[in-house]
A and B are shown apart, each in its own frame.
Chain A
Amino acid sequence: MTIVQLSIFIENRSGTLIKVLEVLKDAQIQIIASTIADTAEYGIYRLICSEPQRACEELKRAGVPVSLSNVFALELDNQPGCAAEAIATFSRAHISISYMYSFLLGDKGILVFRTDNAEQARQTILENHLRYISEPDLSCLA
């Protein structure tokens, strides 16, 4: 029910981001979505890509601190109000969201998020018949 995300420790210093991107480029990894917040000294560069396991290994080999984690990815219609509707479901279930970002996949909006209670989120998704994508859905894209 989840997709695999890379979390990369990234220093707020020129040259660090390009190093990561070049490792991925050389390994022919395709980036599907990514996000990075502005922070004082360091941040976490989170990305969804093709072949996350291989991407992780390549980055580690290049000395980049990286970890893999599982995040939820909901599929939404690309229309006003869809995000509000989905998040309201979690809000009613008292599930808080640690971080969230989104991207377009064809004509669908994909909402990627992580919660502090994965099991409860899983149940909420099932009970409310929310559409989600899983790792295999992404693999066939790349």
Chain B
Amino acid sequence: MSSPYFNPERETMTRAQIEAFQLERLKETVRHCLTNPFYQKKFKEAGITADDIQTLADVRKLPFTTKNDLRETYPFGMSCVPLKDCVRLHSSSGTTGNPTVILHTKKDLDEWANQVARNLWMVGLRPDDVFQNSSGYGMFTGGLGFQYGAERLGMLTVPAAAGNSLRQIKFIKDFGTTAIHAVPSYVTRLYEVMQEQGVDPRRDTKLRVLAIGAEPHSEEQRQRIEQMMGVKAYNSFGMSEMCGPGVGFECPEQNGLHFWEDYYIVEIVNPETLQPVPDGEIGELVLTTLCREAMPLLRYRTRDLTRVLGRSCPCGRNHIRLDRMRGRSDDMMVLRGVNIFPIQIEKILMQFPELGNNYLITLTTDQDNDNMTVEVELAEMFTDDYGRLQQLGKDITRALKDEILLTPRVKLVPRGTLPVSEGKAVRVVDKRKVYQ
């Protein structure tokens, strides 16, 4: 019987060992960061030097970094190695300004693959498994991240990418796929198509493990996916700034995600005061990378809200366990794996002179599919023609789809019908199951 651990030494470290390892790596990371003018300036402003890091708690002396820092230093300003040493670049869509660019050295990619392989091994996948990655490829890290990790583990890996459900199902049957990575809403879609095709995942496929992530989902949604597909579904956490998928993953206990503390220092802070919150209390996840060469990030504010569940686990791993993400501390929405800011919606709506200034975005879960409805007020009645009103709705829908890559439901409403709040307008109402 094979070991339950991909990297037994690192995965089963005691808390004392983890913390000693982190302190050493933190000192190294800080020294490495200070080769870069951006960090030199930040440290100077904060009035600290590398020597101020003597204990692990000293991490709190370090300045935070944010997505805005990445934008302002676009594209290569936060790189801590010469560009010639980088071999990969990933980027966010950049629809709200400059994209954020993340660079990787060969060693960064190597470590990233190890992280993902560790996760997949942890949930029982072995080299004789067949792994189908039904995730977007290209700039989205869920594609290549899982590809390299699954290959590192030694599985036959199928880069099926997202979409074309009929072909996905054919692959699952023909290749004997045992594991899939996809966003949860796509798994639901696959199941629907399977039903239409008369395919019973329990009877007609060898599926047993799903890795789901990149969009918020509730425990109920996970359980429904498990029942539908006859599999175990494990929650995956990643973000391109930290590498991509592989940052945190559920173990077979399915009681929170282990965040790998040999790769990151995990802090949970109050998003207002930026002070640490006690274990169990919800706050913003702040991560410091410990092993990255090209773009180490110190105290990066992820804007994701979560809480600490514990630092031990029956699985034998003492890496910190965090709850599934509970929302965001900024106004970013994550819908079907796509990051969307309300300002993107607003920008499009304001291009239509027929529309007023007030709009409301509502996110709902309808039969396991997450959907967006955009209600927008008409500026005035500009036509007596029902067809033109309908055409306007279609034009808005298309323009929004081009911007956010998802098709929202657009609803025209009379002026004055949407709630007008005092001060900051409420633009987003999230009614998805995960946040209830």
Contact = CB atoms under 8 A, between A and B. Distances in A.
B384 A9 contact: no
Interface stretch (A38-46, A81-89, A134-142): A38-46
A7 B414 contact: no
Contacts of B385: 98
Interface residues of A, number: 23
B358 to A, nearest CB: 11
A65 B414 contact: yes
Interface residues on B, range: 10 to 19
Interface in A54-89: 63-67, 69
A87 B386 CA distance: 22
B414 A67 contact: no
Contact of B412 (A42, A63, A99): A42
Interface in B219-258: none
Interface-centre pick from A39, A42, A66, A67 (highest chain B CB count, 10 A): A42
Interface in B362-386: 378, 380-386
Contacts of B378: 9, 65
A114 B383 CA distance: 13
A67 B416 contact: no
Question: How would you classify the secondary structure of chain A's contact residues: helix, strand, loop or mixed?
Answer: strand
B381 A41 contact: no
Contact of B384 (A39, A42, A43, A114): A114
A50 interface: no
Contacts of A46: 384
A63 B414 contact: yes
Given A65-B378, A67-B381, A44 B386 contact: yes
B408 to A, nearest CB: 14
A11 interface: yes
Contacts of B413: 11, 42
Contact of A11 (B382, B386, B417): B417
Contact of B383 (A10, A41, A63, A67): A67
Contact of B386 (A43, A63, A65, A66): A43
Contact of B381 (A7, A37, A39): A7
A112 to B, nearest CB: 12
A69 B412 contact: no
A53 interface: no
Contacts of B417: 11
A9 B412 CA distance: 9
Nearest to B378: A65
A8 interface: yes
Given A9-B414, A10-B414, A44-B389, A65 B384 contact: no
A16 B417 CA distance: 10
Contacts of B411: 41-42
A63 B382 CA distance: 14
A-B pairs, 8 with minimum CB distance: A63-B416, A65-B381, A7-B384, A67-B381, A69-B384, A9-B381, A65-B414, A65-B378
Given A41-B411, A42-B389, A44-B389, 12 more contacts: A7-B381, A9-B389, A10-B414, A42-B411, A46-B384, A63-B415, A63-B416, A65-B381, A67-B380, A67-B381, A67-B384, A114-B384
28 contacts: A7-B383, A7-B384, A8-B381, A9-B378, A9-B381, A9-B412, A9-B414, A10-B414, A11-B413, A11-B414, A11-B417, A16-B414, A39-B386, A41-B412, A42-B389, A42-B412, A42-B413, A43-B386, A44-B386, A46-B384, A63-B415, A63-B416, A64-B414, A67-B380, A69-B384, A98-B385, A99-B386, A114-B384
Interface of A: 5, 7-11, 16, 37, 39, 41-44, 46, 63-67, 69, 98-99, 114
